[in-house]
Amino acid sequence: MEKNTEEPLKTAGGLYRVELFFSKRRMILIPAAFILFLAVPLMGFNQYILRIFTVIGIYIILSLALNLVAGYTGQLSMGNAAFYAIGAYTATLLLLRGGVNYWLTIPLAAVLAGFCGLLLGLPTFRLRGSYLTIVTLGFGEIVRMILMNWDSVTNGTLGIRNIPAPDFFGITLSLRNGGFYYLVLFLVVLVSAASWFIVNSKIGRAFVSIREDEIAAQMMGIRTTKYKALAFVLSAFFSGLAGAFYAPMVGYIDSNSFTFEVSSQIISMAILGGLGTMRGMFFGAAVLIVFPEVSRFLMDYRFVIYGVILVLMMRFRPQGLLGWQPRVPVRFSKTVRSDLMREGILPEGE
Amino acid sequence: MADFVQQILNGFALGLAYALVAVGYSLVFGILRLINFSHGSVYAFGAHAAFFMVGLHFGPVPAIIAAMLITGVLGVVIDRTALAPLRKKKSVSIAALVTTLGISSIIQNMLVVIFGSQRKPFPDFFNFGTLELGGVRLGSRQLVMVTVSLALLLLLLMVVNKTKVGLAMRATAQNQKAAALMGINVNNIITLTFLMGGASAAIAGGMVGGYYQIVYPSMGFMIGLKAFAASVLGGIGSLPGALVGGLLVGVIESLAALFFGSNYRDATAFIILIAVLIFRPAGLFGKKEVVKV
Amino acid sequence: MKKILIAALVILAAALPVFAGGGSEAQSDTIKIAVAVPMTGDNAEYGQTFLIAAQIMTEEWNAAGGVLGKQVEIVNYDDKNSAEEAASIAQKIVSDPGIIGVLGHFSSGVSMTAAPTYEENKVIEISNCASHPDYSKMGKYIFRNNTAITEEFKVMVDIIENDLKLTKVGVVAIKTDWGNTAGGLADKLVLASSKLQLVAHEDVLETSDDHGPAIAKLKAAGAEAVICVGMYSLYGPFAKQYKEVDPNVQLIGVSNAYTQQIIQLGGQAVEGLFAPVSFYAESSDPATKKFVDEFKKRWGAEPSSLAAQAYDSIGILLQAIKNTGSLDREKVRDAVQNINYKGITGQTTFDAIGDAAKQFTKVIIRGGKFVPYTK
């Protein structure tokens, strides 16, 4: 695929300047933002609003997870709700039946979800594009059916109730005391950092090369099947992490919490924000969680508008609201950069 | 044994309904390589259009024909307003896919706004009695469903394989650029495909509405997913494949419900699908695509 | 990273005013009652009628001067009958100190997800439809103005044993949390009866309208009477498909079958269907008549028994506040516990765990109408 590096620069010039403005002040802004987020529970918000913040956190993790496979590797998964479900059920069952400590259930649940991600990643050896998407969709439905019908393990349609909230040095986490908020904040930071390191490593570059041109990537000696499977594993791992957090937060899980609609909501978030960017995941999750909450008065029209937004987005801004790509794909040396600046391709000042 | 045969018959009728919906997926995928997620909602729209026409005291046949026209137009509108501009801009394929997800949400929820989410009674048009043979019943509803579906599928097959328009469709499916160079108006052909997809969805909606005698806005969701699985199973893009895929899913699902209970019924379609895709990635009747560098 | 944080910051800044507006303060001149039911989605028909019933009751009180000199205000929330939505709405409700009680939620599973939040914050929850036995055990503030489903099944068993004099019973249940539990309890009660024989139990999916395989198995097992555990959406298609296979089968529904929709959807096939109900719209009782007339004016059809229980639930809550003479949550809760309320669904009292006791009438569909059953 031919990528014109000039055009996005010009169209996103204004936004790029905004980004540049912030990036120059990042040493102040990042700590400031972090402190602000740390202070949220102390700002006197009620439980309902703390819950919204916490749910946004969960969906940020889910979107970041989807982003690895769909955004960077270019393999659209429509079954990510299944990994979320596997994480939630594994953590819950380990906690209630296995008597495992809550803090251990989170990594264990993520590992099992990651393993299931490997299972789903295996057909990628043979399938491409739309066919792979279909398999992920089918996988999501099958997992949901299993959760619904495997009564002896998942308690079937009744779901699992009374999942206890975890203790942290003697304090029981709750929405009210902000415990869940801090935990999800920690997880969001953790997943963001992990995701950042993955994307900016050799693995990330392999992912992007598969997205851009799978055959060319293979020609360059990248073992595409291995990296595609790896993308699924990582995506599933992080989704499972979100699930393991979700279960004790609501205290109740059943198969209806993990439907196709959840998968398609995660996709919508990632797309709204901008697939292949990390900032987009934060933005998309926040907007699409807040939108239904503030638009309850619209009743049935809410989802009509939701659909209209998706359609308009794809028509006018398919790269997502924050999905501008001002930077040239590689980091140039100083001389090249100054050349580019002189040509006006790269804005001054970096 | 009678039960077994009976369920095969029931599954056959159900499978033809899936096939009718699957055709819509196949037609669009064949030409655009696009999973049209709005098709399930278009099907529900078709059923509601038929329901509405019946309410205006049209007879069953005029009602379904009117519904076909309206739904066909809806298909065209979807393509012209939402998808054609994306093609013009040469957007990535994921953009079109998400667009169809959005359209699906719009249609389904508009139906809720207009008609309400509840189940509404659809008149029992096709009931002229039941034939009973050795404990196996064959209802006239099933017969009507089988006849109409097969007739429609044959008609579509004729159009695609024997007419000039069909030739243009096949050419567009093979290579849009080359087809355009040969003087085919590719955009018109694509729009025509959506028209045909919409019309066949309306027939499916009317038939299934008449078969179970209910319609409701969310009726397209599950049947849409299953029909889609069926079309992939048969080999997406192939019309006979859609028929065989639909019948397979319908019959296996009914038998699975009989032997293993209804619990895993909705998963059956996907289990068969995944199993088949792993061994035959292009489906039963699909041609393997060769990627050229 | 920085871009992410910046984006998040911007959102936060944008969202703050919205949130600040969301958490409204208590207005001292009204008493607020939340109605948290499905207003959209598959069960919207139920929720919308509950809201109308609740509004009729509050308007009656307000016309008579309100409670404790204050006007009563209904705050409506749409939970879409989803546990996740309900959990969020429950947080919203308890964050509003003006709300003293909640009518809701629709299904047992959803009610039970929200219940701990209400219990923790001392908000009285009265559900007019949750029928899961464990629901009312979830706390002191959790009440049920509906009979536990076992009471209904006892009446249904009685119908089969004594009115129909049949022995072979099948059970069909929808595959949801409610259908699973209720279906299991139906099995137990049929098994416990010395005269009845449970021949088959079939689960059906709510997402499918094709019940052929389940019906084939029920028929093969020789079921003479079938207990249907489902929402209105089950009865019509199920009855139609069953009557084609076996026109003599006797279908018996639970109390939520008592709604005009099943006659619309089922037509001839639901003729002769039995249901136990605690409310009958054509009763000659003047209070019932008044409610039914008003309800018909607004909704266009007769109220179901669940809507009538919604009407009474609000009445119970307001009466309890009046009896207490204050808005002290603990005292109002005790007043609900000790109430003896005469409503249109009979005389209602609560037992220690918060379950209502009710009298049932047997109704049957004859000539396209629900009529009280007489031999």
The one-letter code for the residue type at C69 is G
Q: Would you call C206 exposed, middle or buried from its count of C-beta atoms within 10 A (0-12, 13-18, 19+)?
A: middle
Q: Do B117 and C42 touch (CB under 8 A)?
A: yes
**What subunits make at least 3 CB pairs under 8 angstroms with A?**
B, C
* pLDDT over threshold 60, residue C222: yes
Segment C22-32 mean pLDDT: 59
Give pLDDT, residue C4. Answer: 53
**Which chains have 3+ CB pairs within 8 A of B?**
A, C
Tell me the β-bridge partners of B132. Answer: B137
Spatial distance between the Cα atoms of B22 and B20, rounded to a whole number of angstroms: 5
Architecture of domain B2-279: Orthogonal Bundle (1.10)
Query: Is B91–A318 a contact, with Cβ atoms under 8 angstroms apart?
Result: yes
Contact at CB, A257 and C83, closer than 8 angstroms: yes
Band of residue C346 on the pLDDT scale cut at 50, 70, 90: confident
The model carries a pTM of: 0.83
Q: Can you give the pLDDT at residue A16?
A: 65
DSSP E strands in C107-167: the ranges are 124-127, 142-144
On the question of a cis peptide bond just before residue B57, with omega within 30 degrees of 0, the verdict is no
264-283 in B: which are within 8 Å (CB) of A? Answer: 264, 266-267, 269-271, 273-274, 277-278, 281-282
What tens digit of pLDDT does each residue of C94-115 get? 888 889 899 988 888 888 888 8
Cα–Cα distance for residue pair C234/A211, rounded to 1 Å = 47
Beta partners for residue C356, in sequence order:
C350
b/e code A144-170 from CB counts within 10 Å (16+ = b): bbbbbbeeeebbbbbbbbebeebeeee
Which pLDDT band, with edges at 50, 70 and 90, does A348 fall under? Answer: low
Minimal CA separation from A317 to chain B, in Å: 10
Chains that touch C (3 or more CB pairs under 8 A): A, B
Q: Provide the pLDDT confidence category of residue B268 given band limits of 50, 70 and 90.
A: confident
Query: What proportions of chain C, in percent to the nearest 5, are helix, strand and coil?
Result: 50, 20, 30
- State what percent of residues in chain A have pLDDT above 70: 85
On the 0-12 / 13-18 / 19+ scale of CB atoms within 10 A, B79 is buried
Mean pLDDT of chain B: 84
A253 three-state secondary structure: strand
Q: Mean of the pLDDT values across residues A104-127?
A: 85
Q: Say how far residue B19 (Cα) sits from the centre of its chain.
A: 6
CB-CB neighbours of A256 under 10 Å: 21
Question: What is the C-alpha to C-alpha distance for residues C331 and C269, in angstroms, rounded to an integer?
Answer: 50
Do C181 and A299 lie within an 8 Å CB cutoff?
no
Give the DSSP letter of residue A317: -
Using an 8 Å Cβ cutoff, are C306 and C135 in contact?
A: no
Residue C70's pLDDT is: 87
Say whether pLDDT at C260 is over 60.
yes
Domain ranges of chain C: 27-147+286-349, 150-277
- Domain C27-147+286-349: give its CATH code: 3.40.50.2300
C residues 321-360 near A, CB within 8 Å?
none
Please tell me the predicted confidence (pLDDT) of residue C50.
Answer: 92
Which chain C residues have a beta carbon less than 8 Å from that of B227?
none
- As a whole number of Å, the CA-based R_g of chain A is 21
Q: Does residue A94 contact residue A108 with C-beta atoms inside 8 Å?
A: yes
CB contact under 8 A, C237 and B214: yes
| Residue of A129, A307, A318 lying closest to B105 (CB–CB) | A307
Handedness of CA B69, B71, B77, B80 (dihedral sign): negative
Write A28-31 long-range contacts (CB < 8 A, 24+). A29/C2, A29/C5, A29/C6, A29/C9, A30/C1, A30/C2, A30/C5
Contacts of B65 (CB under 8 A, 6+ apart): none
Tokens of residue B252, six digits = 């296996």
> Which pLDDT does position A167 carry in this prediction?
78
C247/C250 Cα distance (integer angstroms): 9
**Which helix (H) or strand (E) covers residue B56, if one does?**
none
Say which residue, A113 or A12, is predicted with more confidence. A113
Neighbours of C138 (CB within 10 A): 22
Query: Region B256-265: what's the mean pLDDT?
Result: 78
Residues of chain C contacting residue A322, judged by C-beta atoms under 8 Å apart: 3, 7
Name the minimum distance, in Å, from the CA of B83 to any CA of chain A: 8
Amino acid at C149: I
- Domain range list for chain B: 2-279
What are C301-338's pLDDT values in tens digits?
888 888 888 999 999 989 999 888 888 888 889 888 88
Interface test with B, best of A272, A314, A316 (most B CBs within 10 A): A314
Round to whole Å and give the CA distance between C256 and C344: 17
Is A299 within 8 Å of C177 when comparing Cβ atoms?
Answer: no
Residue A328 pLDDT: 45
Q: Which residue of A has its CA nearest to C110?
A: A252
Q: What pLDDT band is residue B288 in, cutting at 50, 70 and 90?
A: low
Cα dihedral C350/C356/C361/C364 (nearest 10): 170
Same fold, C27-147+286-349 and C150-277: yes
What local confidence, expressed as pLDDT, does residue A62 receive?
94
B89 CB-near residues (< 8 Å, 6+ apart): none
B61 CB near a chain A CB, below 8 Å?
no
Give which of C311, C309, C318 is closest to C339, Cα–Cα.
Answer: C318
Q: Could you tell me which of A238, A264, A239, A258 has the C-alpha nearest to residue A78?
A: A264
In chain C, whose CA is at the least distance from the CA of B129? C244
CB atoms within 10 A of CB A176: 17
* Nearest residue in B to A310, CA atom: B102
Which residues does chain B have within 8 Å of residue A271's beta carbon, measured at their own beta carbons? 94, 98
C8 interaction partners in chain A (CB closer than 8 Å): 33, 37, 282-283, 286
Which is more confident, C142 or C26?
C142
Cβ–Cβ contact B221 with C under 8 A: yes
Residue A199 Cα, gap to closest chain C Cα (Å): 12
Interface contact B118, partner A, CB < 8 A: no
Give the confidence band of B69 by pLDDT, cuts at 50, 70, 90: very high
Looking at CATH, the fold of the domain delimited by C150-277 is given as Rossmann fold (3.40.50)
CB C86 within 8 A of CB C56: no
Please report the sign of the dihedral spanned by the C-alpha atoms of residue C57, residue C59, residue C62, residue C68.
Answer: positive
Predicted local confidence at residue C8, as pLDDT: 52
Q: Are C225 and C170 in contact (CB under 8 A)?
A: yes
ipTM for the assembly:
0.83
Query: What ranges do the domains of chain A cover?
Result: 48-259
Alpha carbons C193 and C205: distance in angstroms, whole number: 28
- Could you please report the per-residue DSSP string of C22-76? HSPPPPTTEEEEEEEE-SSSTTHHHHHHHHHHHHHHHHHHHHTT-BTTBEEEEEE
pLDDT digits (tens, 9 = 90+) for B79-136: 999 888 888 887 777 788 888 888 998 999 899 888 887 788 888 777 777 777 766 7
The residue that leads in pLDDT, A276 or B106, is B106
Q: Please indicate whether, in this complex, the C-beta atoms of B263 and A148 are within 8 angstroms of each other.
A: yes
Size of interface A-C (CB pairs under 8 A): 127
Model confidence band, residue C19 (pLDDT cutoffs 50, 70, 90): very low
| Min distance B288 CA to chain A CA atoms (Å) | 11
DSSP state of A97: T
Q: Do B212 and C237 touch (CB under 8 A)?
A: yes
Residues of C with CB under 8 A from a CB of B: 40-42, 44-45, 175, 202-205, 207-210, 212-214, 216-217, 220, 232-233, 236-237, 240, 244-245, 261, 264-265, 267
Q: For residues A310 and B38, what is the distance between their CA atoms, to the nearest angstrom?
A: 13
User: How far, in Å, CA of C76 to CA of A188, rounded?
Assistant: 34
Element (H, E) at C167: none
Can you point out the beta strands (E) in C80-176?
Answer: 99-104, 124-127, 142-144, 168-174
